[in-house]
A and B are shown apart, each in its own frame.
Chain A
């Protein structure tokens, strides 16, 4: 799925990157979360949303550990 335009547009991407940096997370996590939300918002169902968000966060935590090492 294609990321929303605001993640591809230079100026808005800079804002997102900056906010993520200041909050110690990576932009990838936000993009993945938006993709998950977009996937669920279309169907209207909510089952599995929390689990998918958990997966996104876990992969961020794995990335963070790998980066520290």
Chain B
């Protein structure tokens, strides 16, 4: 559905103006309407509110919202203010709107013509003479038997509910209405209508009435047989259980709300307490006990360290000598190895001599002429030479054996044991020293806390007392909540059994005649709708939260990217971020509120799959470049039939305009003509000389 025509007569600065919008295409859904401030943008937006829904639209228009039920006087006054001051008395003020289905949709073209009449003196005519409404579907006038208000539900069915308008016809400068309405009781209900949850609820009511009516057609209890009586009783019992469940659910909601408020209060008090040091006087006993414990621990640690040091005195002494003992043992081991090699060689020196200087030498061709005395000297010299090979011993060898009683494997074992003893001793001492340090630190902390608590300000007592009370109240509320939830479960189980029993009886009765068969089916329908209603509601809220969040984080500042929009039960929407307290959207900056508003509009269009136009007045304001780019990107990425942007000359122009130009279907420029004293609409024109 797209907005194909707006005609305004005697409407604020518009004398007789028309906007004709071309059918948008998928690639070009955008319409830009440029007007300087005060030239007619907001008047145009406002004409959509009251043109569509009259006084019901006014309730939701920015600056006119109210809930005191004084519709009529306010409405007349608002329209009087929006009437063109120079209009002749016999000329009505009128707004005509035409919504046309796109080629993708089935349905009728909707035309609404709303006129308001004034007396010669410019005051609104009294009673029904003030306003008329014509409603056309495909140019066929529709009869409105019960007066002009009868058109409202029909329009709501074709387009959207009146209270959803701030989402689809969105004033970027004034996002507050949308935020206020987006609480549990406002916009979310509208979402339920659009999503279909509400129709399910209405269908449930209609089915219940149908069943009741069908029963009375069969003659009611008077003519009923025993099974029918039984069935009626069970149906009555079921109604009672359903009513109980509704009451219990109300109680649960109110208890949840109460607990939420208590928890918020608790959080605030804890924060205040934390700012005051985080200690309560009630903690004093615990702190004293902690000091005593820390003192004992310190004493024990000191004792333990002393005893350990004493016990390990020898080991410590040994460990200090460890390096030199180990060096000594290694040197003696080297000496032992050297001696073994040397002795082995000397032992084999006779074999070597026999080879070099064989005996008897008289048979050796080289030595045969040698005298026996010389031969013996030669042999001794050789032997001495062999022994010289091992003199002096290598550098790492000990010169003598001091620990000579420890040899071979015994020496290796001793070296290993000394290493272990040294490691263990040092680790043990280190561990005990650390324990002592920790104990000293704990004692210092505990003493510091005891001293602080001794001088806490008086306020702490009050907060502590309040926190205790809140804690008790939370426990009590949780207990009540648990009990109520259990009761609901119990009642639901009873309901389930009862439904089964009713179904069985209905099946039996269905054999009797067609009306009973219908009742049996209607009972099953009732069961389906009842469960459906229960299951759809939380999904709808969750879906809305997810969708609004996904759009919001794309548009808003990057510091909010990890946040999630949450619609609190009966409360204003908040941004929930990890490691930060909930931030009320209404308390955030103007840009964030605007981001939320647009995110909400986009989410609504997305979730409800409604192909209705989105009209946004000054979406960018004086936002920075980053915000502009993010917002336009978000707008361009949503699959909508038509997006109409009302903008001034410092907003969607220059580089921003160039970014979206490819998706613009149509331009309009609205200029206030000083001579004629009226706003003139120029189709196919825009700022920066476009179309001139």
Report yes or no: B106 in contact with A20, Cβ–Cβ below 8 A. no
CA distance A14 to B608 in the complex (A): 17
The minimal Cβ–Cβ distance linking A57 to chain B, given in whole angstroms, is 5
Residues of A contacting B256 with CB < 8 Å? Answer: none
B629: chain A residues at CB < 8 Å are none
Shortest distance from the beta carbon of A15 to any chain B beta carbon, whole Å: 6
Interface centre among B196, B209, B517, B535 (most CB of A within 10 A): B196
A49 lies within 8 A of B206 (CB): yes
Contact check, B517 vs A4: say whether CB atoms are below 8 A apart.
no
Query: Contact: B521 with A41, CB < 8 Å?
Result: no
User: Which of A1, A38, A53 sits near B210, CB closer than 8 Å?
Assistant: A53
- Expressed in whole angstroms, the minimum distance between the Cβ of A36 and any Cβ of chain B is 8
Q: Could you give, for residues 183-202 of chain B, a 1 whenever the CB lies within 8 Å of some chain A CB and a 0 otherwise?
A: 00000000000111101101
Q: Is B607 an interface residue (CB 8 A)?
A: yes
Cα(A40)–Cα(B527), bound, Å = 22
Q: Is A33 a contact partner of B206 (Cβ separation < 8 A)?
A: yes
Q: Are A34 and B527 in contact (CB under 8 A)?
A: no
Q: Is the CB of B524 within 8 A of A25?
A: yes
Whether B531 and A19, one on each chain, are in contact in the complex, defined by CB atoms closer than 8 angstroms, is yes
Query: Which of B517, B518, B524 is A23 in contact with, Cβ under 8 Å?
Result: B524
Note all chain A residues with C-beta closer than 8 A to B210: 49-50, 53-54
Assembly CA distance A44 to B152 (angstroms): 10
Interface positions, chain A 45-64, Cβ under 8 Å from B, are: 49-50, 53-54, 57-58, 60-61
A38 adjacent to B199 (CB under 8 Å): yes
A5: Cβ under 8 A from any B Cβ? yes
Are the C-beta atoms of A44 and B609 separated by less than 8 Å?
Answer: no
Could you say which residues of chain A place their CB within 8 Å of the CB of B107?
1-2
Cβ contact within 8 Å between B528 and A37: no
Q: Is the CB–CB distance between A6 and B536 below 8 Å?
A: yes
Binds A, one of B153-161, B485-493, B649-657: B153-161
CA distance A57 to B506 in the complex (A): 15
In Å, the complex CA distance between A16 and B528 comes to 8
CB contact list, B547-580 vs A, under 8 A: none
For A42, list chain B residues within 8 Å (CB). Answer: 153-154, 156-157
Complex contact B146–A44 (CB within 8 A): yes
Check if B150 sits within 8 Å of A30, measured CB to CB.
no
B94-108 vs A, CB cutoff 8 Å, 1 = contact: the mask equals 000000000001110
Complex alpha-carbon distance, A54 and B514, angstroms: 10
Interface extent on A, as a size class? Answer: 35 or more
Note all chain B residues with C-beta closer than 8 A to A23: 524-525, 527-528
- Residues on A with C-beta less than 8 A from B539 are 11-12, 15
Mark interface residues in B290-326 (1 if CB within 8 Å of A CB, else 0).
0000000000000000000000000000000000000
In the bound complex, do residue A57 and residue B521 qualify as a contact, i.e. CB atoms below 8 Å apart? yes
Known: A5-B608, A44-B146, A44-B153. A29 touches B532 (CB 8 A): no
Contact call A37/B525, Cβ cutoff below 8 A: no
With A4-B195, A5-B194, A42-B153: A34-B521 Cβ-Cβ less than 8 Å: no
Q: B192 — nearest CB in chain A belongs to which residue?
A: A6
Closest Cβ neighbor of A4 among chain B residues? B196
Contact (A4, B199) CB under 8 Å given A43-B153, A49-B206: yes
* B207 contacts A by Cβ under 8 Å: yes
Cβ contacts under 8 Å, A44 to chain B: 146, 150, 153
> Which residues on A sit within 8 Å (CB–CB) of B609?
5, 8-9
Q: With A2-B106, A29-B525 known to touch, is A15 a contact of B535 (CB < 8 Å)?
A: yes
Q: Does B213 contact A (CB under 8 A)?
A: yes
A25 to B213: give the CA distance in the assembly, Å.
21
Select from chain B the residue with minimum beta-carbon distance to A8.
B609
CB-CB nearest in chain A for B158: A42
Known A6-B197, A7-B196: A30·B206 in contact at CB below 8 Å: no
Tell me the bound Cα distance from A57 to B210 in angstroms.
11
Indicate if A67 sits at the interface (CB-CB under 8 A).
no
Asked whether B528 lies within 8 Å of A6 as measured between CB atoms, the reply is: no
* Chain A residue contacts of B527, Cβ below 8 A: 23
A29→B203 CA distance, assembly (Å): 11
**Residues of A with C-beta under 8 A to B536:** 6, 12, 15
Residue of A nearest to B106 (CB): A2
Residues of A within 8 A of B540 (CB): 6
Nearest to B157 among chain A residues (CB) is: A42
Chain B positions within 8 Å of A54 at CB level: 210, 518
B203 engages A30 (CB within 8 Å) = yes
With beta carbons under 8 angstroms apart, the residue of A34, A53, A57, A60 that contacts B200 is A34
Complex CA gap A1/B196 in Å reads: 13
Judge whether B522 is part of the interface by a CB distance below 8 angstroms.
Answer: yes
Residues of chain A with a CB closer than 8 A to B199's CB: 4, 34, 37-38, 41
Against A, the Cβ 8 Å flags (1 = close, 0 = not) of B592-612 are 000000000000000111100
Task: Kindly state the separation between the CA atoms of A54 and B515 in the bound complex, as whole angstroms.
Answer: 9
Q: Tell me the residues in window 518-547 of chain B with beta carbons closer than 8 Å to chain A beta carbons.
A: 518, 521-522, 524-525, 527-529, 531-532, 535-536, 539-540
Q: Nearest Cβ distance between residue B216 and chain A, in whole angstroms?
A: 11
Are the CB atoms of B157 and A38 closer together than 8 Å? Answer: yes
Which of the listed residues B106, B521, B532 has the most CB atoms from chain A within 10 Å of its own CB? B521
Q: Provide the bound-state CA to CA distance between A29 and B610, in Å.
A: 23
Interface residues of B in 95-151 (CB under 8 A from A): 105-107, 146, 150
| Complex A-B, nearest 5 residue pairs according to Cβ-Cβ distance, in ascending order | A4-B196, A6-B196, A42-B157, A42-B153, A23-B524
B-side residues, CB < 8 A to A, are 105-107, 146, 150, 153-154, 156-157, 194-197, 199-200, 202-203, 206-207, 209-210, 213-214, 517-518, 521-522, 524-525, 527-529, 531-532, 535-536, 539-540, 607-610
Binding site for B on A (CB under 8 A): 1-9, 11-12, 15-16, 19-20, 23-25, 29-30, 33-34, 36-38, 40-44, 49-50, 53-54, 57-58, 60-61
Q: Write 24 A-B pairs (CB below 8 A) sorted by A numbering.
A: A5-B194, A6-B196, A6-B536, A15-B535, A24-B524, A25-B528, A29-B521, A29-B525, A36-B206, A37-B199, A40-B206, A41-B202, A42-B153, A44-B146, A49-B206, A50-B210, A50-B213, A53-B210, A53-B522, A54-B210, A57-B521, A57-B522, A60-B521, A61-B521
15 new A-B pairs (CB below 8 Å) besides A3-B196, A36-B206, A44-B153? Answer: A5-B608, A6-B195, A6-B200, A6-B536, A9-B609, A15-B535, A25-B528, A33-B206, A38-B157, A38-B202, A42-B153, A42-B154, A49-B206, A57-B525, A61-B517
